[in-house]
Amino acid sequence: MTQNLHRFPGGVTHSFTDSTEDQDRLLSFEKMFIGVNGSSLKTNGNLEVVRGIPVERLMMETDSPYCDIINTHAGSQYVKSVWPSKKKEKYEPDSTVKGRNEPCLVRDF
């Protein structure tokens, strides 16, 4: 990334699950954000790393069907997100699509 920094104005590291050292390296790039999801909150070690991400550089990823926060993840005690869900074929406006995490109450105003 350092060699190609001139080629991109910024970015997001998707589904971050690496170490504090990797986090610090990414944050050394001025316009790099770190995205976290359920995979980023699996272990107590992951939680410690995520705690070190400045909120202004943190992006919560909500759209991955394979990165839910499940009861066996260490982060499940801190994140509560339960909305009614339906299979995509039976989607209704006041529900989420099963296996995805978008909040159903986000509306255009």
Buried b (16+ CB within 10 A) or exposed e, 68-92: ebeeebebbeeeeeeeebeeeeeee
Domain boundaries, the chain: 5-80
Could you report the per-residue pLDDT of 47-103, keeping only the tens digit for each?
Answer: 999 999 999 999 988 766 677 778 889 988 887 666 677 888 887 877 777 766 555
Residues 6+ apart with CB under 8 A from 69: 37, 38, 41, 75, 76, 79, 81
Tokens for 75, please give them.
């982060």
- The pLDDT assigned to 45 comes to 96
Measured from the Cβ of residue 24, the count of other Cβ atoms closer than 10 Å reads 11
Query: What DSSP state is assigned to residue 60?
Result: E
